[in-house]
Structure 1
């Protein structure tokens, strides 16, 4: 339960005061109470937005736009009842009242735990990271910290939160440091196996070193990406389309800083001022069917684009999954700095 008093408001408080309380409490809700702590209503971000759209000024009393009949729970009820209520009505918080209607707590919705998913996750963590200069001279790029954690730890915890627990980490450059940090994964309630490349084998070649054949589609991901993609949805997309391989793609746009002249020979057919060109780029995340691994030659360099092109040449179905969620490839110093800026908002929340 949250300390509800930090988001308490009097009925005569203004919209501006409500905004300040909601911002300070960081729970997207304020509780409107009387002098004896009886609940009069609730105010959410949505209530304020709708009031502003109606033209209400910032000095409007919250009693004018609050939700006067909010959903509530009883303090003596079991927590699973509170959670059921919040899930049923899509609530993030639930005021808890005693038998006299006084507020005594504020429950927070906790999503149900994801089921354990046995699909393998293969993380490519063997790169040199040379474009990050001095940062990777003494440690591999996946161990660089973004926020309070190494990049690879955030990646693994994101998979764990979605139910995935079986990891194969492909290592090469300073791979022992990665082994030392993660061990067998038991500290995270995960199973981690290491695939060591004695030489660079490319983003697909390392898959030929897996100690056994998978039984289910596996996810392959570069170990220098931070993303909020829903990997369960990605797997369902792959299965639904009966794909041999699915690659995640990200829209990338480039605006030409000049007027572009369209021509037919020497004849001008049109002029377009500073056009924007849009492409879909490879996002470094893949789903592969188990039988696809049999196409990968052993003990040789072989990258993922080559594998996908070979599948297409063999008329195997390859699908693209567009990413709309947060995604950043930490390849250059500017990307690393941007990820540091994003971390608090994207990974820690309000």
Structure 2
């Protein structure tokens, strides 16, 4: 039983944005919504929030907009073994324990104490860019090898994947490839496998996929830009791709644009509406993808192709393409300001 389950209790008027902060802080992937006297009325998981984002629910809405109003719960009289079997059967990590009046008295969590399940899916790390916006830091060092928190960004990314059970890595190189290859070698010192794919000329993210060897495991591949700092749970991204039987999945970020003026709407000279200081929400590409093996096999070798174009082609061909919203920490380290911010953030996101 957890001794500090009070840390994941929130009231129904709490904003989704603030519930996310609790989920990230406590690393339990859920919060419980209660009334006074700990009367349980709902549960909110990170999956509930993702579905809400897809359906257009904003982060400033109350958690009641996305919460599960009938969460699985258990009585305090149940044995630990019975609780464990219930959680395994229902595939849940958190189980509220309630009394006969429906009041929350404890929480049972299924800690990940077992050996991490190995994932055979390959991971493709894009590390061939020039990093021109980070010069002079990148004059003699590829951008993914710049150190954040004392380690190259690429090493932190690899370690994060490794913590989720991934061990088969392919690294795309172009600019100063020897720096990367000399540092990581074949990956054996990290208990992983690394193979390198060298681009003689830049082929775009999608084009680099065409250089992967024929021996590539016939499983969906996770692809990520090597200059991204994130604590995304890559298992969930892969599970989403598999469960939805999609051909290509793109991770997206919720991005807001706040207009500091009144926006005038209308046709011609006619004013139909005035919206004062509106906020527009969009999903933007996060540089993380899952690509099915069949798609990789269909690519023309050495042909330039960026990922937006690949997704457009797949869509035009009738293939299934989906977006996966991520709310976890994410930073594209492309500019000096980003690099300086990453040096501070790295100590708080749990990936070192």
Measure, in 2, the Cα distance between the counterparts of 1:164 and 1:252. 29
CA RMSD for the aligned pairs? 2.4
CA drift of 1:111 comes to: 3.2
Residue 193 in 1 paired to residue 195 in 2?
yes
Residue pair 2:156, 2:351 contacting (<8 A) in 1 also: no
Correspondence 1:262 to 2:265: yes
More off after superposition, 189-198 vs 203-212? 203-212
Change (3 A) 1:137 1:218: same
Correspondence 1:90-101 to 2 at 5 A: none
Determine if contact 1:205/1:301 at 8 Å carries over to the other structure. Answer: yes
Segments of 5+ residues of structure 1 without an aligned counterpart are: 1-27, 29-49, 52-83, 92-108
Identify the residue that residue 171 of structure 2 maps to in structure 1. 169
Cα distance in 2 for residues equivalent to 1:175 and 1:222: 15
Return the offset for 1:294: 2.5
Which of the numbers 237, 240, 248 marks the counterpart of 1:237?
Answer: 240
If the length of structure 1 is used for normalisation, what is the TM-score? 0.68
Quick one: distance in 1 between partners of 2:137 and 2:259?
Answer: 33
Cα deviation, 1:90-132, whole Å, max 9, x if unaligned, reads 99xxxxxxxxxxxxxxxxx873331111100000000011111
* Structure 2 counterpart SS, 1:118: coil
CA distance in structure 2 between the aligned counterparts of 1:317 and 1:110, rounded to whole angstroms = 33
How far does residue 164 in structure 1 lie from its aligned partner after superposition?
Answer: 0.2
The correspondence for 1:294, drawn from 270, 283, 297, is 297
* Residue of structure 2 in register with 1:150 after alignment: 152
Q: Secondary structure at the match of 1:119?
A: coil
* Alignment-derived partner of residue 41 in structure 2: none
State TM-score, norm by structure 2: 0.67
Decide which of 225, 229, 244 is 1:226's aligned counterpart: 229
Q: Which has the larger radius of gyration?
A: 1
Kept in 2, the 8 Å contact 1:328–1:335? The answer is: yes
2:321 maps to which of 311, 318, 323: 318
- C-alpha contact 1:296 1:302 (8 A) present in aligned 2: no
Q: Secondary structure of the equivalent of 1:345?
A: coil
Q: Is 2:283 aligned against 1:280?
A: yes
- The 4+ residue runs of structure 1 with deviation greater than 3 A are none
Q: Tell me, what secondary structure is at the counterpart of 1:338?
A: helix
Q: CA deviation at 1:348?
A: 6.0
For residues 336 and 313 of structure 1, the distance between their equivalents in structure 2, rounded to whole angstroms, comes to 38
Instruction: Give the corresponding residue for 2:57.
Output: none
Deviation at 1:214, TM superposition (A): 2.9
How far did residue 263 of structure 1 move?
1.9
Matched, 1:345 2:352: no
CA distance in 1, matches of 2:223, 2:351: 25
Render the CA deviation track for 1:162-199: whole Å, top value 9, x for unaligned: 00000000000011100011011011100000001111
Partner-residue secondary structure (3-state), 1:261: strand
CA shift for structure 1 position 260 = 1.0
- The equivalences for 1:50-69 within 5 A come to none
Q: What does 1:194-213 align with in structure 2 at a 5 Å threshold? A: 194-212=196-214, 213=216
Question: Are the counterparts in 2 of residues 121 and 164 from structure 1 also a CA contact under 8 Å?
Answer: yes
The SS at the match of 2:121 is: strand
After TM superposition, give the deviation of residue 255 of structure 1 in Å.
Answer: 0.6
Number of matched pairs: 251
Q: Hey, what does 2:339 align to over in structure 1?
A: 336
Residue ranges of structure 2 left out of the alignment (5+ in a row): 1-25, 27-35, 38-83, 95-110
- Secondary structure of 2:305 counterpart: coil
**Contact 1:296–1:307, Cα closer than 8 Å, also in 2:** no
Match of 1:181 in 2: 183
* 2:327 counterpart SS class: coil
> Residue deviations 1:44-85, cap 9 Å, x none?
xxxxxx99xxxxxxxxxxxxxxxxxxxxxxxxxxxxxxxx9x
SS state of the match for residue 117, structure 1? coil
The 1-side partners of 2:327 and 2:113 are apart by 22
Q: Hey, what's the Cα distance between the residues in 2 that align with 1:230 and 1:311?
A: 26
Q: For the Cα contact (< 8 Å) 2:148–2:346, is it kept in 1? A: yes
Q: Which residue of 1 aligns with 2:123?
A: 121
Distance 2:137 2:276 in 1: 41
Q: Distance in 1 between matches of 2:217 and 2:263?
A: 51
